[in-house]
Chains A and B, each alone.
Chain A
Amino acid sequence: EVQLVESGGDLVQPGGSLRLSCAASGFTFSTYWMHWVRQAPGKGLVWVSRINSDGSSTNYADSVKGRFTISRDNAKNTLYLQMNSLRAEDTAVYYCARVVDSGSSLDYWGQGTLVTVSS
């Protein structure tokens, strides 16, 4: 059974940092591209970042570029999102998701982890 389990969400002050993790199981993690998607309270889904299967290629939404870093450890079957210089508008549930055929279809999602940026 495919499982994605996020962790690391917390309450952090503006300007602070946080690292999210996504533990994958039930599939060959090293062969799939992975994404982070976020959802602010009561709002819609927003794409954040993606990484290819071996970690050599990454892309970011303009709103997080230069502040967030996506990475992965295929030996540990884990995806990461390092979040720096956090702002109030980064407050959201963060989901990791697996993509089908390196395209745009996200076929498995984690349950999400809540990041709250507030003083």
Chain B
Amino acid sequence: SSELTQDPAVSVALGQTVRITCQGDSLRSYYASWYQQKPGQAPVLVIYGKNNRPSGIADRFSGSSSGNTASLTITGAQAEDEADYYCNSRDSSGNHLVFGGGTKLTVL
């Protein structure tokens, strides 16, 4: 399968830890990347590779992977973390990219 599956919505209390997951067969072969998108804005890369954060991304964002599941963890969620989060990876052929359907994170 070339699909990546995400929960449509997740909520977290302010200051608590939340994990957003992404499942797909291609994740057994390729790392997932994670993107944050706020309304009306372009996506922003927050995690890539094994667990790499681009410059300027807060260290409360981290990534992990096990089997066919990749996870984005936000430790100590802040109000500004409320956004849509997307995972992506290569598909099983390695020549195409595929995105998950996105997870809407609400910070309570």
Give chain A's interface residues, CB within 8 Å of chain B: 35, 37, 44-47, 50, 59, 61, 95, 100, 103-107, 109-112
Contacts and interface: CB of A to CB of B under 8 A. Distances in A.
B48 interface: yes
Contacts of A103: 30-31, 48, 90
If over half of B's interface residues share one DSSP class (helix, strand or loop), that class is named, otherwise mixed; here it is strand
B76 interface: no
Contact of A107 (B54, B84, B100, B102): B54
Given A44-B102, A47-B99, 8 more contacts: A45-B37, A45-B88, A50-B97, A105-B48, A106-B45, A107-B48, A109-B43, A110-B42
Nearest to A58: B95
B42 A111 contact: yes
Interface string B36-50: 010000111100110
Given A45-B43, A100-B48, A111-B42, A106 B86 contact: no
Interface in B4-52: 30-31, 33, 35, 37, 42-45, 48-49
